[in-house]
Structures are given as C-alpha cells and as structure tokens.
C-alpha cells in the first residue's frame, strides 16, 4: 500500500475505535447495541496497529520478509 492509503486506514481505524468507546460510555440499560462496543474498539485498535506498521515500512522503505528466507 502507499503511505496515503495507510494514513487513511489508520484514521478510519481510530474513528472506529472511538465510536466503540463512545458506545460503551453511552450505555443505556435494556438496549443491546447492534455491534458490541468491545468488538469495535478491538477491531479499531488492531487495524491502527496493522496500518501503522505498514505506514512505517512505506515511509522508511524497509520491506517485510520472513526470518527464515535466504
């Protein structure tokens, strides 16, 4: 991916995590959310980590390669 795509991915992931956090804080007894807030926060955090790591590789030029590859 390009650096622009990675930055957009990090931003979208953080927005998804923020929506999950907001839903958890706005909990109303007796109403179940359509998507659990923990799932949104977990997905957003995981996406931000993955896109952030890919953004670092895009900016530095380092490629991902397995350690056992010769």
Residue 12: which of 39, 51, 42, 38 has the closest Cα?
Answer: 51
Q: For 1-43, write each residue's pLDDT tens digit.
A: 788 999 999 999 999 999 999 999 988 888 888 889 999 999 9
Do residues 63 and 6 make contact, with C-beta atoms less than 8 angstroms apart?
A: no
Is the residue at 70 inside a domain?
A: no
Is the residue at 68 inside a domain?
A: no
Is the residue at 19 inside a domain?
A: yes
Question: Structural domain tally of the chain?
Answer: 1
Q: For 39-68, write each residue's pLDDT tens digit.
A: 999 999 999 999 999 999 889 988 777 777
Is the residue at 69 inside a domain?
A: no
Confidence of residue 69 (pLDDT cuts 50, 70, 90): low
37: containing domain: 3-60
Nearby residues of 20 by Cβ (< 8 Å), 6 or more positions away? 37, 38, 39, 40, 41, 42, 43, 44
- CA-to-CA distance for 56 and 69, rounded, in angstroms? 22
């Amino acid at each position: 991916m390009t650096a622009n795509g990675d930055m957009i991915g990090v931003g979208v992931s953080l927005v998804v995590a923020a929506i999950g956090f907001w839903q958890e804080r706005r909990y109303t007894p007796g109403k179940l959310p359509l998507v659990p807030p923990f799932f949104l926060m977990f997905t957003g955090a995981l996406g931000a980590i993955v896109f952030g790591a890919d953004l670092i590789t895009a900016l530095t030029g380092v490629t991902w390669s397995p350690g056992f590859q010769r």
